[in-house]
Chain A
C-alpha cells in the first residue's frame, strides 16, 4: 500500500507541471495582466499599458515569464487583485472558509439523506415508498443544479419563508459568536442541500441496488439460517458491505462539488470561491481568476488522487499494476 501510495503521488508531479502550463497559457489569453495583477484593465491608454508591460516584464520571453510566475507561486505569491487592491491570497483567504463550510455541510446532508433513503428503499424494494424515492431520484438526476436552486429559492425562501434566499451570514452579527455561527449554518443549509442533490440521488440509487443484490447472497442466507434477526442482517451484514464503495467515491465528490459550487454560490450570492470566480471574470480581475482556476484544478487533482488511494485501500487488485 505504501509503495502504491508513493507511486501514485509521484505520478502527480508531471501532471501538476502540465496543469500549470495549461493554466499559464490561459493567463496569457486573459485580459489585463493575470500573472501579477498590476495592470488596471479599466485604463485603456496604450502608453500606460506598454509602460507597465515593460516594467512587469511581460515583454520577456515566455519561459522567463513562466519561471517567474511559478517561483512566485511556490513562495505563495499569486499577485494582486486590481479590483480589491489587496493580495490575491488575502482575497481568496476571506472566501475559502465559506466554500469549505458549504462543501462540508453539503457532504454531510448528502451522506445522511442517501443513507436513510437508500437503506429504506433497499429494505423495502418495489413498495410505494421505494417508488416514491426512485421517482425523486430520477427527477434529481435530471434537473440541472441551477434550475433546482431557483425552485428551492422560490419554494423554501419565498413561498414558505423557511430559509434566506441570499448571502452567507446575517447582517450585523459579530464574527465568532454563537449567533454568528448559527446564522451561518442557517444560510448554508439550502445551498448545501441543492449542491448535494445530484450526488444524493446517485448514492441512494447505488445503495438501494446494492442492498437488494446483497440480500440474495449466500452469506445473508447463512445468517438467516442461523437465526440472526432481520434488522441485524441488514444493519450489520449488508450495510457494512454496501457502504464501503460509497466511501471510496469521496474523492470524486470533491471534484463534483467544485463545479457545482460555482453555480450554486452565484445563485445564492454566497460569498465563496465560486462566486468570487464569476464576479472576478465579470470585473476582469484576471489575477484572481487565474489563482482560483489553479486552486480548483489542484483541488480536483487531489480529489482524484484521494479517490484512487481510497480505492486501493478497499480493492487490493488496484495496487498491483
Chain B
C-alpha cells in the first residue's frame, strides 16, 4: 500500500518540471489568461483581416468621407473615405508584424552579445559592455526620429533595422548578468570539462536556463516596439503614409479639428494600442510571476 502511494508521488514529482509548474501558475492567473486571449484574438484578426471585413482598407469612398459610425460603415470612415474597421485590422497587421520582427531581432542581438560577454568575461566582456553602455547613452526617440527621417524613402525594413539596432542594449545587459551568475554552477563546469565547445555550452546548457529571463524581456520589448512604431508613424516618420498602421491612423488626429469632432477616427486605434500594450504588460507580469518560485500563487 505504501509502495503504491510512493510511486504515485514519484510520478507526480516527475511531471512537475519547472515549465509545467509555471504553466499551471500562469493558467490560474486570470488577468494573464484574459490578456493572452485578447492578444491572440487581435493577432488572429490582424492576419485573417481579408476574411473578416468586406472592405479594402485602401479603397477610397469619396462620397462617404468622415462618415460617423453606423450608416453602412461599422466604425465610420476617415477623411479620405476609408473604412475605419478594416483599417484597424489591416493596421494591426502592420503594427504587430513590426513589433514581432523587431522584438525577434532585438532579442537575437541582445542574447548573442549578452551571452558572449557573460560567458567569456574578461576583456571580451569589457569591450562589449563598454559598447553597450555607449549605445545606451543616446536619447532613443531622438535618434530614431533623425535616422528614420534620413532613411525615409527606404520603407518599412529600414524602420525595423533602425528600431532594432537602437534597442538591444537592455536585453544584452540582462542576459549577460544572468549568464554570469548561471555559469558559476557545477553543471557548466562539467559541460566544459567533458570538452563542450563554448557555442555548445552556451546554446545547450546556459540559454535554456536563461530562457525565462529572455521571455520576460521579450514581452517588455514587444510593448516598447509597438509604442515606438505607432509614435513614429503618428509623427510621420514611421510606416510610409498610405500603408495602414495604427500609428498612421492616429496621425489624422494631429489636426485639432479631428480630435474635437471626428472622435471615431482616432479613438479606436488609440484604444487598440493601449489595450494591446496593457495585455502584453499583464502577460509579461504573469510569466515573471509564474517562474518565480517564491510567489505564492
Q: Enumerate chain A interface residues (CB-CB to B < 8 A).
A: 15, 18-19, 22, 26, 29-30, 138-139, 141-147, 150-151, 153-154, 158, 165-166, 255, 258-260, 262-263, 266-267, 277-278, 281-282, 289, 292-293, 296-297, 299-301, 304
Contacts and interface: CB of A to CB of B under 8 A. Distances in A.
10 contacts: A146-B230, A146-B231, A146-B234, A147-B270, A150-B250, A259-B140, A262-B142, A277-B142, A277-B145, A301-B137
Interface in B264-281: 266, 270, 273-275, 277-278, 281
Interface residues of B, number: 38
A259 B254 contact: no
Contacts of B263: 154
Interface of B: 134, 136-143, 145-147, 149-150, 223, 227, 230-231, 234-237, 250, 253-254, 256, 259-260, 263, 266, 270, 273-275, 277-278, 281-282
B292 to A, nearest CB: 15
B274 A262 contact: no
Contacts of B227: 144
Given A141-B281, A259-B142, A297-B142, A266 B137 contact: no
A215 B66 CA distance: 56
Contacts, number: 105
A143 B150 contact: no
A26 B281 contact: no
Contacts of B230: 144, 146
A165 to B, nearest CB: 6
A26 B146 contact: yes
Given A138-B278, A143-B274, A143-B277, A26 B142 contact: no
Given A158-B260, A267-B254, A289 B138 contact: no
A158 B223 CA distance: 30
A137 to B, nearest CB: 11
A255 B139 contact: yes
A144 B231 contact: yes
B274 A300 contact: no
A147 B235 CA distance: 12
Contacts of A26: 146-147, 150
B150 A153 contact: no
B266 A300 contact: no
B1 to A, nearest CB: 45
Given A142-B281, A144-B227, A267-B254, A154 B260 contact: yes
B172 to A, nearest CB: 17
A142 B146 contact: no
